[in-house]
Structure 1
Amino acid sequence: MAAENEQVLLEKVYLEDCPGCRVDLRKATQRSAPFRELFYVWIVVLATALPISSLFPFLYFMVRDFHIAKTEEDISFYAGFVGASFMLGRVLTSYLWGILADRYGRKPVIMIGTIVVYCTFHFAMHQAYASEVCRAEHQPLGLSIVSIAWGIGLIIGPALGGLLAQPAEKYPDVFSKESLFGRFPYFLPCLSISIFAVAVFIACFWLPETLHTHKGCNRGTKSYENLEASIDCCDLKEKIGETDGNKLDSKRSLFRNWPLMSSIIVYCVFSLHDMAYTEIFSLWAVSPKQDGGLNYTSHDVGNILSITGFGLLVFQLSLYPVVSRILGPVMVARVSAVLSVPLLSSYPFIALLSGLKLFLTINIASVLKNVLSVSIITGTFILQNNAVPQHQRGAANGLSMTAMSLFKAAGPAGGGALKASRRHVPPRCSYGFLHLNVIEVIGIVMTFKPFLAVPED
């Protein structure tokens, strides 16, 4: 009986009316990476990253123009809480959308999250989707696409915000002060991103669904993988025995899955670091030289971040999948975090440079910092998605995004508060780079055993 059950489980049968089975059949018969599906993932994640990141270059000027802050130092304090409110919105929605994606499918939730509530929904489903359309050997590439898109969104967003905000001042020949964009100087970047989100929503109609939708028990189905993904498992435990049935228990608590929970916590720590870095970097770059900043304009910041985005794209598409296969996602994340510490320590001294030397050095540093950050995040994505079966992947990623958003909500607020506190400390220590390194070291320690448990699969 045991041998018969084992043979049944190992045979794979793909149901024609099940979208998840169609995707699995394509993975079984085609060894190449699913570049078409990954392109859709890329643009969807990009659309979710742009709204928050585009705010950073002009938040300082917008808060100043609203005359909310009484002093210049208070501007950064209030600007930080604008970014924090965005993340708090995600806290309230991510886990719910993850549950809905496990029940009704990835595609509808991704589409709704892109156009209707894209400002409060993160890329939880995009992680799950990218891992499900890829064969095992292509999973680092698929999840690095998510990291690339999010990382580039954190680059392109500030670039768009810096280049398109206050257009009447920057491009007086095109936009007059009496025009709509002159009277509302921060409307143009928001409008541009909204138009892009509508285009991405339309493109999502061509996304294939990856969730299995087997009706009832499907007693004729012989695929262990398909049965595992079925919503109604019925007497599955009786078919394969109690031990294996426990592995398929869809009610198993995610909170008792330590490989998942430990990877989520590590992910949250590094996400807090990245969000605080994004806030601090933009504020540091536009601050005066006498305060330890670079005295750049928002246009200058946009140019730096555009160059960084290109470098990030090249690295993640060409080098990260190879390095991840050789070293593994945990080791890549650990090495990247270690290298980030001396790099961040050099930032206050970069401000001492000027001219071409400053331009070249800050661009190289920005590219390296973002490459290291995205490598860390991609590694944690792989761990999270390997820690749960498909029928829990949406909820697991939603839980991850909820926890991450709580941490990231503290990032902008903390970054703005640290920058605002510069009047109490020496200028070279006033932008929170030391605090960022403390967070980074904590993250490094947490990547080791016994805290981080690596999934067996």
Structure 2
Amino acid sequence: MEDFGDQPLLKKQYYHENCPGCKVDEAKELKKDFTFRNVFNIWMVVLCATLPVASLFPYLYFLVKDFNIAETEEDISTYAGYVGSAFMVGRALTSILWGMLADRFGRKPVVIIGIFSVVIFNTLFGVCTSFWMAIMMRLLLGALNGLLGTMKAYSSEIFREEYHAFGQSMFAAAWGVGLAFGPALGGYFAQPVQKYPNIFSRNSFWDKFPYFLPCFIVSAMALAVAISCIWLPETLHNHKVSTEKNEALENGTKEPDKNKMLQKDESLLRNWPLMSSIIVYCVFAIHDIAFIEIFSLWSVSPQRLGGLNFETNDVGNVLSVSGIAIIIFQLGIYQLVQKICGPIVLARIVGVLSIPILQSFPFMTMLSGFTLNISIYSAAILKNLFMEIISTGLYILQNKAVDQHQRGVANGICITAMSACKIIGPAAGGAILTWSQKRMHASFLPGPHVVFFGLNVVEVLALLLTFKPFLTERKTPS
């Protein structure tokens, strides 16, 4: 008998010659999908989506201060929250549309358009001279950026089923590293004339636009990634795909179960495993984005307002070390721990551990020197790492809840809902921080203590929602 090797003969005949999605499926069938190239693609594209969001936080306080729009120093955090929220407003308005386009025309064109929007509008943000110009650039950057939802779908499609958790952990790791290294990049390269006077001279372009350099670095990286995406493998099929029908033919049966086919086209809004995981993710998202902005603003605030009086470099150092910790954990440990505990149980464990860590931050203003450095680095590393563990588990649930032909829209709905919630996070966080700094001598939760307590309230609510009957997982057919 002729030996056909490891390739299943029946499956091979369903690969369409000119279909990019079939080429990806064939690579998975031949176990050629687990490559450095695929991991690198996910990382680079997600970083292009994340760095513009996070890189402004260390210098946002000073940017708004330079606009001279705040009446008092305490009001700066409120206006900073508006700038941080503008990106999320734009993304909330268009994410479902980008998801529909990704399901209709493919993941690749949406990714390329999104990266070029970063190149253009992130660069323009660096030369903003007014508060309203900054708001408009961030709004357009968010509206034309369909990267996150598309790449969440892509990272679950480019690998075989046994590596779906790995794909989602790579997405979450890249997102987490972007949220950590983005502020580090902004902290190191904002106001270069003050930090590096031997390289950047006064009264030069860099002095007139002190926040352009970090924007330019991100945009330059995005341009290189956009060019490299010409060779990005497309995972979407360009022909009609009926998974149940193919399985039926391969198994020798006549017709697929019509009830199963109907379930595939069921409204996503009635898909409770999807919607419940999105709702839980959104509550955590409010907490996460509020924490990221509050941490940066609180760190650079003067000590008389309950802050640490850090420089932007100091914030960058703390968050860059957190990014390294996220990389090590997601690449080396997450898969093993997730297999033992499961994504939801693991999320609950780290969520509970986050509560005392979060409430410890305002007490660090009583420390100094080496003790302060050890405390702030340890707490920031653990807090940022725990946020990414929770996000990864929810990403896994969301992508398991739908089939490929609905995955772009499903992730678009998720990003829309998450962005809408993240509008609340920076705006509310900035406003509450401003209010807290006006009550430094209150008898109950004075100053920033009330801000971190409020973050913990949101964290506890999100944890409660991870339990049944609210959060449910999609039952896979046996």
TM-score calculated relative to the size of structure 2: 0.87
Whether the 8 Å CA contact 2:439–2:447 is kept in 1: the answer is no
Conserved 8 A contact 1:418-1:430: no
Q: Is the 8 A contact 1:419 1:430 kept in 2?
A: no
Hey, what's the Cα distance between the residues in 2 that align with 1:144 and 1:93?
25
Query: Which secondary structure state, in structure 1, belongs to the residue aligned with residue 366 of structure 2?
Result: coil
Cα distance in 2 for partners of 1:253, 1:333 equals 28
Which segment is superposed worse, 182-191 or 112-121? Answer: 112-121
Query: 1:85, 1:225 → 2: CA distance?
Result: 49
- From 423, 434, 440, give the equivalent of 2:459: 440
Cα distance in structure 2, aligned partners of 1:225 and 1:351: 65
1:336-371: CA deviation from partner (whole Å, max 9, x where unpaired): 111111110111122211101111111111110011
3-state secondary structure, aligned to 1:452: coil
- Give the 3 Å change call, closer, same or farther, for CA 26–11 of structure 1 in structure 2: closer
Contact 1:98–1:398 (Cα < 8 Å) also in 2: yes
**1:113 paired residue number:** 114
- Alignment check: 8 A CA contact 1:18 1:212 kept: yes
CA deviation profile, 1:122-172 (whole Å, cap 9, x unmatched): 410111000001112211111111111111111111111111111111111
Aligned partner of 1:167 in structure 2 is: 192
| Partner residue in 2 for 1:360 | 374
Is it true that 1:124 corresponds to 2:125 in the alignment?
no
User: Which residue of 1 is the match for residue 261 of structure 2?
Assistant: 245
The answer (yes or no) to whether the contact 1:31–1:135 under 8 Å persists in 2 is no
CA distance in 1 between partners of 2:382 and 2:66 (Å): 34
1:210 equivalent to 2:235? Answer yes
Matched, 1:150 2:175: yes
User: Aligned pair 1:313/2:314, yes or no?
Assistant: no
Counterparts of 2:365 and 2:76, CA distance in 1: 21
Aligned to 1:176: 201
Deviation, 1:241, is 4.2
1:163–1:225: structure 2 CA closer, same or farther, 3 Å change rule? farther
After TM superposition, the structure 1 = structure 2 runs for residues 365-404 of structure 1, keeping only pairs within 5 Å, are 365-404=379-418
Q: Is residue 33–residue 159 contact of structure 2 (8 Å, CA) maintained in 1?
A: no
| Range moving further from structure 2, 130-139 or 76-85 | 130-139
Distance 1:144 1:431 in 2: 33
**1:9-50 residue CA offsets vs partner (Å, 9 max, x unmatched):** x95632222211111121122177333112111010001111
Q: Is the 8 A contact 2:33 2:158 kept in 1?
A: no
The equivalent of 1:419 in structure 2 is 433
Contact 1:56 1:161 in 2 (8 A): yes
TM-score relative to the length of structure 1: 0.91
8 Å contact kept, 1:385–1:393: yes
Equivalent residue for 2:474?
Answer: 455
Cα-to-partner distance string for 1:241-287 (whole Å, 9 max, x where unaligned): 422321333xx211000000000001101111100000110011111
Query: Alpha carbons of 1:36 and 1:451: their partners in 2 closer, same or farther (altered >3 Å)?
Result: same
Equivalent position SS for 1:60: helix
- The CA distance in 2 between the partners of 1:225 and 1:37, in whole Å, is 31
Aligned 8 A contact 1:34 1:134 in 2: no
Work out the CA distance in 2 between the residues paired with 1:11 and 1:449.
39
Instruction: Specify the code of the residue in structure 2 equivalent to 1:20.
Output: G
Q: Residues 266 and 168 from structure 1, CA distance in 2 versus in 1: closer, same or farther, beyond 3 angstroms?
A: same
Query: Which of 298, 314, 317 lines up with 2:312 in the alignment?
Result: 298
- Distance in 1 separating the partners of 2:456 and 2:426: 16
* Structure 2 match to 1:230: none
For residue 443 of structure 1, what is the amino acid of its counterpart?
A
Aligned to 1:101: 102
Deviation at 1:289, TM superposition (A): 2.1
CA displacement at 1:223 relative to structure 2: 2.5
Matched with 1:343 is: 357
CA contact (8 A) 1:34 1:133 kept: no
Mapped to 2, the partners of 1:390 and 1:352 lie a distance apart of: 52
- 1: CA distance between counterparts of 2:43 and 2:225? 10
SS in 1 for 2:200: coil
C-alpha contact 2:102 2:150 (8 A) present in aligned 1 = yes
Q: Distance in 2 between matches of 1:294 and 1:314?
A: 28
In structure 1, give the amino acid aligned to 2:221: F
1:198/1:445 CA distance change after superposition, 3 Å: same
Partner amino acid, structure 2, of 1:134: F
2:220 matched to 1:186? no
Distance 1:266 1:401 in 2: 13
Residues 70-113 of structure 1: per-residue CA shift (max 9 Å, x gap): 10110011000100111001011111000000011111111111
* CA distances 1:318-344 after superposition (whole Å, capped 9, x unpaired): 111111111111111111111111110
Number of aligned residue pairs: give it. Answer: 434
On the 8 A contact 1:212/1:226 being kept in 2, the answer is no
Q: 1:160 to 1:117 in 2, by over 3 A?
A: closer
Residues 398-435 of structure 1 show CA distances to partners (whole Å, capped at 9, x for unaligned) of: 00000000000111111111110121354454461001
Output the amino acid matched with 1:143. Answer: Q
Secondary structure of the residue aligned to 2:474 is coil
